[in-house]
Amino acid sequence: MEKKIYDVMIIGGGGAGLTAALYASRANLSTILFERLVPGGQIASTDLVENYPGFPEGILGPEIAQKMEAQAVRYGAFVSHEEVINLSRGGSIFEAASAEVIFSARSVILTMGASYRTLGVPKEKELTGKGVSYCATCDGAFFKGKKVIAVGGGDSALQEGIFLTRFAEHVSIIHRRDALRASPILQERAKINPKMNFLWNTVVDKIEGKEKVTSVLLRNVKTGETRKFPTDGVFVFIGHNPNSSLVKDFVMLDKEGYVVTDAVYAASVPGVFAAGEVREGAVRQLVAACGEGCAAALAAQAYLDNPR
Ligand code: NAP
């Protein structure tokens, strides 16, 4: 049997990838999207998405993710749960290899997104799942009536911190500076929340506990003073790193590992495009990721019509 060569191969099923799959399949291009976990990327573990236009009451992250996948599939996109472990090019054909299978395509859209950063402090790894978490939606319910900390000063720390107050008795936001990066609306909500407080200019030096988290060692970066701070949970929301290791020797990356693209989302290898959080300079919002996914699919379509 002749091997199928797809028109478009999309690696990563977050908002960017799912939208690229929708646009590519609606353009009648044979489309395969690889998502090793559940569809939605970061929104799959977001409680409520409040800033995606068209949903004035907000929409649950997993719900919008499933709807986006269903919409792409409806127009013919094939979703594979294989994990791509190698990407290569032979002439004008790209090959994505999983542990079992090799898939071929004429163009590639990279939408692998980004993963949460870790603190890198003692006991963080050992106590992950035992009080240390990176996802309030996933783990918040385990902290009913408990005291937790949320580390970070961006939108994630505040949005997830506010979410945690549904379960936890108290949430302390630990931030390394004295000014937040988060949007004003979240700052306002967090500051008036009676279950929340802020510890400024403070970092976590160590997580403590045997079977589970019992305390952290905090340090004031201005005074150098350290103190033991009892807590049941450590939620870490300190930003993300790009999931670009698959393509580190394949396309040009910037010094932080994000995929470099031109104005039409083309990466350094002809026929390869990138969209969403894995891309250098991306605006980290679902609506922006979707917009980029659309633009990258249109650019792939133009490339397929007239390969360089
Ligand atoms: P972020 O905006 O990069 O913020 C990361 C925070 O963690 C910053 O406050 C940073 O401190 C702190 N930080 C970084 N490394 C640290 C370390 N090693 N130790 C202690 N603190 C550290 O990341 P994010 O909050 O995950 O947001 C990512 C993107 O998603 C943003 O563009 C955000 O707007 C978006 N997002 C939006 C929403 C929403 O619209 N509701 C929700 C979630 C996320 P400094 O401030 O000192 O750098």
Phi, psi of 10 (to 5 degrees): -115, 125
pLDDT(1) > 70:
no
Q: Which of 198, 238, 290, 292 to mutate to test the pocket of ligand 1 (most atoms within 8 A of CB)?
A: 238
SS3 10: strand
Q: Model-level pTM?
A: 0.83
Dump pLDDT digits (tens) for 202-227: 999 999 999 999 999 999 999 999 99
Instruction: Report pLDDT digits (tens) over 155-203.
Output: 999 999 999 999 999 999 999 999 999 999 999 999 999 999 999 999 9
C-alpha to C-alpha distance for 273 and 253, rounded to whole angstroms: 13
pLDDT tens digits, one per residue of 69-91: 999 999 999 999 999 999 999 99
Candidate from 137, 155, 199, 286 with most ligand 1 atoms within 8 A of CB, to mutate: 155
For residues 288-292, average pLDDT? 97
Average pLDDT, rounded, for the chain = 96
Contact 174, 151 (CB under 8 A): yes
Average pLDDT over residues 268-289: 96
Nearest ligand 1 atom to the CA of 177 is 47
Segment among 14-18, 45-49, 144-148, 265-269 with least mean pLDDT: 45-49
**Residue (of 247, 249, 250, 215) closest to 234 by Cα position:** 215
Contact 109, 273 (CB under 8 A): yes
Domains observed in the chain: 5-115+240-305 (3.50.50.60), 118-236 (3.50.50.60)
Query: Which single residue is written with the structure tokens 């408990």?
Result: 146
Q: Which of 7, 47, 139, 155 is catalytic?
A: 139
